[in-house]
Amino acid sequence: SGITFIKGTAAIDNFWFYKLEFGSGQLPAEWSLIKELHYQPVVNGILGDWNTGALPEGVYTLRLVVVDITGNFPQPCQVRVNIDR
Neighbours of 35 (CB within 10 A): 11
Note the pLDDT tens digit of each residue in 30-65. Answer: 999 999 999 999 999 999 999 999 999 999 999 999
Confidence of residue 1 (pLDDT cuts 50, 70, 90): low
Per DSSP bridges, beta strands 3-10 and 77-83 are unpaired
Note the pLDDT tens digit of each residue in 19-30. Answer: 999 999 999 999
Quick one: which H or E segment has residue 47?
Answer: strand 42-51
pTM of the model: 0.93
